[in-house]
Amino acid sequence: MMILPVFTFYAWRYASRSHEIPCPFWLRWFVELDNPFTKTNRAKTIIQQSNIHPGMHVIDFGCGPGRLTIPLAESVGSGGKVTAIDMQSEMLQRAKSKAMDKNLKNIEFIQGKIGEGKLQLAPCERAVLVTVLGEIPDRDAAFKEIFDKLKPGGILTVTEVIFDPHFQRKETILKLANKVGFREKDFLGNWAAFSLLLEKPPRELGISKME
């Protein structure tokens, strides 16, 4: 019974190598649960490594069915906020349903695409891109948009796993990140499954005494 679903998953993987195809809603069950084969991609691990705590505003770019969104909302508490963004309305509805089941009222859901400059977002302390970077057509614009939305000292966590058809290497990510002003804060995992923490430098004080 599992032959057809597995076949369709790998068919999507193959097609995604030459076309930017986000994970379709009917394949959501492949991304809805924590990967049992790698600790790096698990929601709890990402939250701990990113030092996310109560009161923060976190933006979940490419939230999908809410695998990370819901634990994020629980972590920041009622005094914090999670903005969940996805281009697919079905994915957002799935995430919304999970939030309602847990009575979470601190999540803002937005349907849209990163990198087009159309998202109206409040400044945040943390942002996450979990196995979604490779699905973004204009990655340069996306990094610039995230950099601008982060507060000084804020952190973007980019998580990649080799199983994902859009897998991005650390070197590729750093090249994009450094171009807009990010600096590497930490690298956790290995070449095949990792989280790369990128910091927006804190605002420098006392640049000019004449101001």
CATH number at residue 175: 3.40.50.150
Q: Is the predicted pLDDT of residue 155 greater than 90, yes or no?
A: yes
Radius of gyration of the chain (CA): 17
d(C-alpha 93, C-alpha 28), whole Å: 12
66, part of any domain: yes
79, part of any domain: yes
52, part of any domain: yes
Q: Is the predicted pLDDT of residue 3 greater than 80, yes or no?
A: no
Among 98, 43, 115, which Cα is nearest to 75's? Answer: 43
pTM of the model: 0.83
Instruction: Please check whether residue 88 is in contact with residue 157, taking contact to mean a CB–CB distance below 8 angstroms.
Output: no
* pLDDT tens string 42-87: 999 999 999 999 999 999 999 999 999 999 999 999 999 999 999 9
* pLDDT tens string 14-41: 444 445 556 555 445 455 566 666 778 8
Number of domains composing the chain:
1
147, part of any domain: yes
H-state helical runs in the chain: 3-16, 43-49, 69-76, 89-101, 139-149, 170-180
143, part of any domain: yes
Task: Give Cβ neighbours of residue 146 (< 8 Å, ≥ 6 apart).
Answer: 59, 61, 114, 127, 129, 156
211, part of any domain: no
Q: Is 159 helix (H, G, I), strand (E, B) or coil?
A: strand
208, part of any domain: no
63, part of any domain: yes
Which residue range forms the structural domain that includes residue 131? 3-199
